[in-house]
Amino acid sequence: MAFRLAAALPFLLLLAHAQKIGTAVPEVHPKLVTQTCTTSGGCVDRQTLLVTDALSRPFHKVGDPSVPCTPLNTTLCPDAATCAANCELEGVEYGSLGVLTAGRAVTLRQYLFDGDAFTSVSPRLYLLAEDGMNYELLKLNGQELSYDVDVSQLGCGMNGALYLSEMDASGSRSDLNPAGAQYGTGYCDAQCFNVSFINGLPNLNNSGACCNEMDIWEANAMATAMTPHTCSGVGSFLCSGDECGKTDAGVCDHDGCGVNPFRAGLKDFYGPGKTVDTTKPFTVVTQFLTDSGNASTGSGTLAEIRRLYVQDGKVIQNEPVPSNTNQLDSTSPNVNDASGGSVTQAFCTAANASQYLRLGGMDGMGASLERGMVLVFSIWNSAGDFMNWLDSGEAGPCSNTSGDPARIVAETPEVSVTFSNIRWGDIGSTFNASSSPLRNGTNAAFLSSNAKSGTAPHTAAASDIEVNSVYTSVECG
Ligand SMILES: *[C@@H]1O[C@H](CO)[C@@H](O)[C@H](O)[C@H]1NC(C)=O
Ligand SMILES: *[C@@H]1O[C@H](CO)[C@@H](O)[C@H](O)[C@H]1NC(C)=O
Ligand SMILES: *[C@@H]1O[C@H](CO)[C@@H](O)[C@H](O)[C@H]1NC(C)=O
Ligand SMILES: *[C@@H]1O[C@H](CO)[C@@H](O)[C@H](O)[C@H]1NC(C)=O
Ligand SMILES: *[C@@H]1O[C@H](CO)[C@@H](O)[C@H](O)[C@H]1NC(C)=O
Ligand SMILES: *[C@@H]1O[C@H](CO)[C@@H](O)[C@H](O)[C@H]1NC(C)=O
Ligand SMILES: *[C@@H]1O[C@H](CO)[C@@H](O)[C@H](O)[C@H]1NC(C)=O
Ligand SMILES: *[C@@H]1O[C@H](CO)[C@@H](O)[C@H](O)[C@H]1NC(C)=O
């Protein structure tokens, strides 16, 4: 008897202290096959998976899904340990979040039709490693990342994003947060993400979750931006007060050092019918070139973040064309490029990206890429600024009111983005000029199944939508 009790004790302690995993909805991570590539060996499939952020899941009183757990409910969540004991995190059905995967492709939708109206789901997803337990850490210093994207259904004010955050690989798993990455905890970014739960625990002291962020892709059919953001700390860390803000007391660079071809004066480069024709899918290649003179080894200091596109069998380099005229065939960084064709220290200095430079600049970003970062996919719009920094005024051809979410949902509610064929590895190994992406959106069947006239899909819970509007409004630049 005594023996059996002793054997059961660790389990009982776990139940008493750990935030629980709900049983109402099983969590089935969507599969998304990706590839890693080497110059010598070609590309190899990886059976990676996706997981949605913890905040887009129901988190409720144990056994009672009708009572949400929030830090405002001081009975359930007066402190982290009590909250963890009282509350459970549920699985989600990914279709209900506007997410569909098919082989190597994932489609994200901003809105879903519930039979009466379109409601915002605005999913954010993380790439899980093959173990399904931890995030995949991409170590891209001296490497490149490629993917195909279809932005044809993404108009003014929308942002279909693919980026990296230096999250903890385990999702900041802890005794009080045993689910960790498996349930999408541990998000952080260079805006010092400030929400009701951080690392799976209630945020009771108004902290923000900060970390280095590399915005590889924030774009719609009209405009595109690539923006590194640095922070003073390593990995994921908490800020409080002025540390979380934009002043010189801030620990992260909120504005970043961004490259946007339209802002650089190239108004005919990116868009419908332009050099990169956004009415059709294309391949996006992002190279993180180091100054070692041998970028393929991955060692060395990050000197240039270079963008290439591949469409209809042609490689298109980001313009304006840097002074290194041999750029396409070269794996050497063009460190003196201040033209806006690439992100370099010279460009960021000319652009007066003072917070980026103060918080480490290219060296800081390269160190984060060397340690490893987590791949994030999202789709969002913003009631706060209508995404004008991305596609309006100096940044793009959109009017400064076309990105109003109320207008988007009324006029083009079926907005979506599809990312596919995600691969990373040695410089030059992840793309072939001769291979063009498919012309048709891979997930056309899913998109039409949720057309207004089609079958009504699932609706997100009201709490999910509230949470989503919180994170979409805090992220910017
Ligand atoms: C807070 O939690 C208590 C205990 O479960 C519950 O009775 C109450 O309804 C909750 N309050 C709110 C506002 O949800
Ligand atoms: C806020 O709470 C977190 C989690 O309990 C803790 O790690 C952090 O040190 C606290 N911050 C301050 C400023 O007290
Ligand atoms: C976090 O967000 C709340 C609510 O928007 C705000 O009042 C608070 O100042 C923010 N805290 C930090 C540290 O940014
Ligand atoms: C670059 O690194 C690769 C891999 O280690 C090595 O095979 C190659 O010889 C190096 N090239 C130069 C020029 O150092
Ligand atoms: C650079 O930006 C800082 C504020 O971030 C400002 O004080 C300074 O005047 C700017 N310098 C130039 C040359 O624009
Ligand atoms: C849009 O631009 C007009 C003209 O410059 C300005 O008056 C208005 O405040 C702007 N609106 C928004 C939402 O930025
Ligand atoms: C590029 O083409 C070669 C030769 O056909 C092939 O072996 C390789 O897998 C291709 N790489 C990619 C990334 O498609
Ligand atoms: C694209 O889709 C259309 C309509 O579904 C189909 O007829 C056509 O064959 C597709 N083209 C390719 C290249 O898959």
Strand partners for 335 = none
218 part of the active site: yes
DSSP state of 84: H
Ligand 7 atom closest to Cα of 43?
9
Nearest CA to ligand 4 atom 9: 294
Q: Is 196 in the pocket of ligand 6 (CB under 6 A)?
A: no
Q: Are 388 and 395 in contact (CB under 8 A)?
A: yes
What pLDDT is attached to residue 293? 57
Ligand 6 contacts CB of residue 74 (under 6 A):
no
- 93 noted as active-site residue: no
Q: Which of 290, 296, 331, 332 to mutate to test the pocket of ligand 4 (most atoms within 8 A of CB)?
A: 296
Best residue for ligand 2 mutational test, from 176, 194, 207 (most atoms within 8 Å of Cβ):
207
Render pLDDT for 436-452 as a digit per residue (tens, 0 to 9): 443 333 344 444 444 44
| DSSP code at position 225 | E
Tokens of 310: 């591949």
Pick the atom of ligand 5 nearest to 354's CA: 5
Which residue's alpha carbon is at the smallest distance from atom 14 of ligand 4?
A: 294
CA 380 to CA 361: how far, in whole Å? 27
CATH code of domain 35-51+96-474? 2.70.100.10
Verify whether ligand 1 is closer than 6 Å to residue 75 (CB atom). yes
**CA-based nearest residue to 226, from 203, 249, 256, 246:** 256
Instruction: State the pairing for strand pair 302-311/282-290.
Output: antiparallel
d(C-alpha 164, C-alpha 187), whole Å: 11
Indicate the average pLDDT of the chain.
86
Q: Are the C-beta atoms of 104 and 258 separated by less than 8 Å? A: no
Q: Separation of 432 CA from ligand 7 center, angstroms?
A: 6
Does the pLDDT value for residue 330 go beyond 90? no
pLDDT at 97: 97
Ligand 6 pocket, residue 401 CB under 6 Å: yes
Q: With pLDDT > 70 as the criterion, what percentage of the chain qualifies?
A: 83
Residues touching ligand 2 (Cβ under 6 Å) are 80, 205, 207, 238, 240
Ligand 5 atom at shortest distance from the alpha carbon of 352: 1
As a three-state string, the secondary structure of 387-416 is CHHHHECCCCCECCCCCCHHHHHHHCCCCE
Confidence of residue 338 (pLDDT cuts 50, 70, 90): confident
Q: How confident is the model at residue 469 (pLDDT cuts 50, 70, 90)?
A: very low
Among the bound ligands, the one closest to the CA of 245: 3
477 pLDDT exceeds 60? no
pLDDT of 169 reads: 98
Phi, psi of 392 (to 5 degrees): -125, 160
pLDDT of 341 higher than 70 = yes
Cβ proximity of 379 and 123 under 8 Å = yes
CA of residue 192 to ligand 5 center, whole Å: 23
| Nearest residue to 179 via CA among 200, 203, 209 | 200
- Cβ of 354 less than 6 Å from ligand 5: yes
CA 304 to ligand 4 center in whole angstroms: 19
> What is the pLDDT at residue 334?
83
Mutate to test the pocket of ligand 2, among 168, 197, 204, 238 (most ligand atoms within 8 A of CB): 238
- 6 versus 229: the higher-pLDDT residue is 229
Pocket of ligand 3 (CB under 6 A): 194, 206, 208, 240-241, 244
Tokens of 45: 């499939």
Hey, what are 342's tokens? Answer: 């690439």
CB 267 near ligand 8, within 6 Å: no
Give which of 467, 459, 477 is closest to 109, Cα–Cα. Answer: 459
Task: Kindly report, residue by residue over 135-170, the tens digit of the pLDDT.
Answer: 999 999 999 999 999 999 999 999 999 999 999 999
pLDDT at 475: 31
Spatial distance between the Cα atoms of 403 and 407, rounded to a whole number of angstroms: 7
Q: At 148, phi and psi to the nearest 5?
A: -100, 145
Tell me, using a 6 A CB cutoff, whether residue 73 lines ligand 1.
yes
Q: How confident is the model at residue 22, as a pLDDT?
A: 81
Nearest ligand (C-alpha, residue 253): 5
CA atoms of 156 and 406, how far apart (whole Å): 13
Q: Is 273 helix (H, G, I), strand (E, B) or coil?
A: coil
335 HSE (CA, 13 A, CB side): 10
Quick one: pLDDT band at residue 9, thresholds 50, 70, 90?
very low
Catalytic residue chosen out of the listed positions 218, 243, 319, 370: 218
